[in-house]
Amino acid sequence: MFLRHGAHDMKAMIKQLDIAAKKYHQEIKQRSDNAEIIAWYKLHGWDSSDAEAQRLLARQAVLNAVIRKAFPDLTLYRTPFDFVTAPDMLVSRIYEMAQRSHSFNFWGELYSILIPQPHRRQVGQFWTDECIADWMVTWLLQFQPRLLDDIGCGAGNFLIKAAQHLQESKPAMRLYGFDVSPLLLNITQASFATANLPVPELSEKNYLESSLPADADAIICNPPYTRHHHISPDVKDHLHGFFKGKLGVAISRKATMAFYFLLKIIAEMPEGAHTAIIVPMEVLDARYGSAAKRVLCRETVLSAIIHFSQEMNAFHKVDVGASILLFRKGYEKDNLVRHVTLKAVPTTDELLSCLDARERRELPFGSLVIQPQNELLNIPKWSGIATFSPEIKKWEQTGLIVPLKALAKVMRGIATGANEFFALSTQEVKRRSLEPFVIRTIQRNREIQDIILDEAAWQALSNKGKRVWLLYLNGENLNRHPALSAYLAEGEAKGYHNRSLVQTRKKWYFMEQRELPAIFFTILTRGNPRFILNQAGVRPLNMFSLLYPNNYVVKAGCIEHLWVLLNSTFSLSQLHSVSRTYGGNTLKVEPRELDNLPVINPLALPDEIRQRIRELIADFYRHRDTLLLVRETDTLIDTLLNLKTVTPYRSSLPMQLQLFETQKNY
């Protein structure tokens, strides 16, 4: 991503900047009770008493001072630390680096280095790569807009790219951007001045408390991705009423900032205007996202949704899966939406050229699926459309492929409300004489990397001092158990009884009750999702989903068949179609999402296939080679799905009644 300078030069420059910042660190700390400084910390989601936050604010102050001294002719925005000055030697060094740099946006990238991603993400600041900015800007410019508005413009990447295009074609178009951060607006101006481009119109404002310009006919945005806690209740109240009146939708108060930005843009943009916006797919795939999907389908003409494959980390150091939405305000009855999944980075021309296609196709850089817009509301996970196989639809009709909920009940693991109190090691259980009151558990998915948890694996965790026991109370008479009473009293002394979750229980120490699951699944993983056979008899905590096969699977002796099939490449590759989409190969699959995972139905397998799976399982218990088991299962599934006809297993009830029975019994 960053500047084309030697690492040594960059480190030396940052060291020099930090020396200058250290000079003002104490002065900024002394002003920590200043209302403007406090507001600045709050704006960034930082704690004013935190030493690292103070250091980063000092860095911001010096960078701002460098820009002020390097560009005296710019009309810069006021910040709370304008009293800081920068040494002439530092100003000259950074200015010269900016002039020599071939970087797309030197000043913005410098800010990204000085303020690391973990500290920018607290206010939802995510860097937009140059090629992504070019795709979005070029798509908008083809409609020859009069005013392009960059909402939350940050360091100005979209505006710079648009200005570069305007410099080449010279159409009559205005550029306008606004942001809540005066420092980022100053960085945007410095970037334009360095590139010898005319500075666009800029404003300092919060979009949730302001409006789009009435004449904006092209909107571009990489909205802040922060949780709903960062939106004040008063602003939420106003926006909920606004959305109800303008769009006719009621929305959840748990919706993220990006969700609010998307709906507000749609509500305010004029008819016929175009928008290119980066949207975390959780905004659409989460439960609260159904309102956004309804609004998009009803109020806009979706041109394309550009997805990024799990292998492609499009947003540097960001574990948030995002897509790009391209749409126009209005309605078109027979509109077709292009879903493009990228596995490699195309040129702008390559990407835009496929957006006029009328049929599905494989692309040199990914794949394209065409979806009628009027069918989108029937699809729960838009992130999975572009990679959904039509073959799955065909096999669903035979009963060979079914959603997991047809075969098993899925429940979340036990939520304790205070793992550090309720989950205990073997040593602590013995020391406190709590043996009669605990059950086996597993706390973290990283503690079990295999697809089976047997007695030996659980004992190994116990011997390592892991928290493998769960205090499992529900109506015990404490007066008869002094050791237990003493432990609970100790918990109350530490305030565990005041935790929000435990206060919802009849007794704060009563635990959620769960039957032993046959299989459990890792809800959140980085690159290794797995279904674990529960041979150790544990009741996992809520980092896992618990699977209870239905009566038909149990009676057919197919629990282990189901376990093996779930761990096949076929099922694991379908997780993205039901999961919360994140970057960095991260998957989060909640229980109700896991319900819909396509899985090979062991009840529909021919007898010879089921017998072969039994043999593979028996071999696995001898060699304990998970990769070999999965590879041989994959070969079996590939052969099965390539057969022209399959004679499915016939249970005593039709599938519809099996589904009903499954839901009724659990």
Mean pLDDT of 35-48: 87
Number of domains in the chain: 2
Helical pair 182-194 and 51-70, crossing angle rounded to 10 deg: 40
What range does the domain containing 577 cover?
A: 392-409+537-666
Same domain for 489 and 566, yes or no, is no
CA distance 413 to 545: 5
Q: State the residue for tokens 């305030």.
A: 495
- Higher pLDDT: 165 or 650? It is 165
- Residue 242's φ and ψ, nearest 5 degrees, are -65, -45
Q: Which of 105-109, 340-344, 517-521, 644-648 is the least confident region?
A: 644-648
Q: Which of 298-302, 517-521, 562-566, 574-578 is the least confident region?
A: 574-578
Smallest CA-to-CA distance from 407 within 635, 650, 617, 604 is with 604
Q: What is the 3-state secondary structure (H, E, C) of 378-441?
A: HCCCHHHHHHCCHHHHHHHCCCCEEEHHHCEEEEECECCCCHHHHEECHHHHHHHCCHHHEEEC
Whether residue 47 contacts residue 41, with contact meaning beta carbons closer than 8 Å, is answered with yes
* Bridge-based pairing state of the strands 452-453 and 531-534: parallel
CA distance 597 to 300: 30
Same domain for 575 and 651, yes or no, is yes
Residue 285: its pLDDT value, please? 78
CA distance 658 to 515: 21
Q: Decide if 454 is inside a domain.
A: yes
Residue 360: its pLDDT value, please? 81
Same domain for 488 and 633, yes or no, is no
Residue 581: its pLDDT value, please? 53
Within 8 A by CB and 6+ apart from 369, the residues are 338, 339, 341, 360, 385, 386, 387, 388
Q: Decide if 64 is inside a domain.
A: no
Same domain for 430 and 502, yes or no, is yes
Where are any strands of DSSP class E within 57-168? 147-151
Smallest CA-to-CA distance from 588 within 662, 643, 527, 539 is with 527
Mean pLDDT of 93-113: 92
pLDDT higher than 50, residue 359: yes
CA distance 277 to 313: 18
CA distance 318 to 316: 5
Same domain for 493 and 565, yes or no, is no
pLDDT tens digits for 47-57?
A: 888 888 889 99
pLDDT higher than 50, residue 659: no
Q: Which pLDDT band holds residue 522 (cuts at 50, 70, 90)?
A: very high
- Higher pLDDT: 621 or 126? It is 621
Same domain for 567 and 656, yes or no, is yes
SS3 of residue 226 by DSSP: coil
Q: Decide if 55 is inside a domain.
A: no
Q: Decide if 136 is inside a domain.
A: no
Residue 661: its pLDDT value, please? 35
Average pLDDT of the chain to the nearest whole number: 87
CA distance 154 to 188: 7
Smallest CA-to-CA distance from 395 within 644, 564, 660 is with 644
CA distance 47 to 222: 25
Smallest CA-to-CA distance from 544 within 612, 419, 442 is with 442
Residue 27: its pLDDT value, please? 78
Same domain for 483 and 552, yes or no, is no
Residue 653: its pLDDT value, please? 34
Whether residue 317 contacts residue 580, with contact meaning beta carbons closer than 8 Å, is answered with no
Same domain for 549 and 633, yes or no, is yes
Same domain for 554 and 498, yes or no, is no
Q: Decide if 627 is inside a domain.
A: yes
- Residue 269's φ and ψ, nearest 5 degrees, are -70, 140
Q: Decide if 445 is inside a domain.
A: yes
Same domain for 506 and 594, yes or no, is no
Q: Which pLDDT band holds residue 652 (cuts at 50, 70, 90)?
A: very low
Residue 516: its pLDDT value, please? 97
Same domain for 465 and 584, yes or no, is no
Same domain for 564 and 505, yes or no, is no
CA distance 622 to 661: 36
Residue 312: its pLDDT value, please? 59
Mean pLDDT of 435-462: 95
Q: Decide if 558 is inside a domain.
A: yes
Query: Of 511, 546, 575, which one is at a domain's C-terminal end?
Result: 511
pLDDT higher than 90, residue 182: yes
Residue 142: how many other CB atoms lie within 10 Å: 9
Smallest CA-to-CA distance from 104 within 204, 3, 225, 29 is with 3
Burial label, 398 (beta-carbon count in 10 A; 0-12, 13-18, 19+): middle
- Residue 565's φ and ψ, nearest 5 degrees, are -65, -35
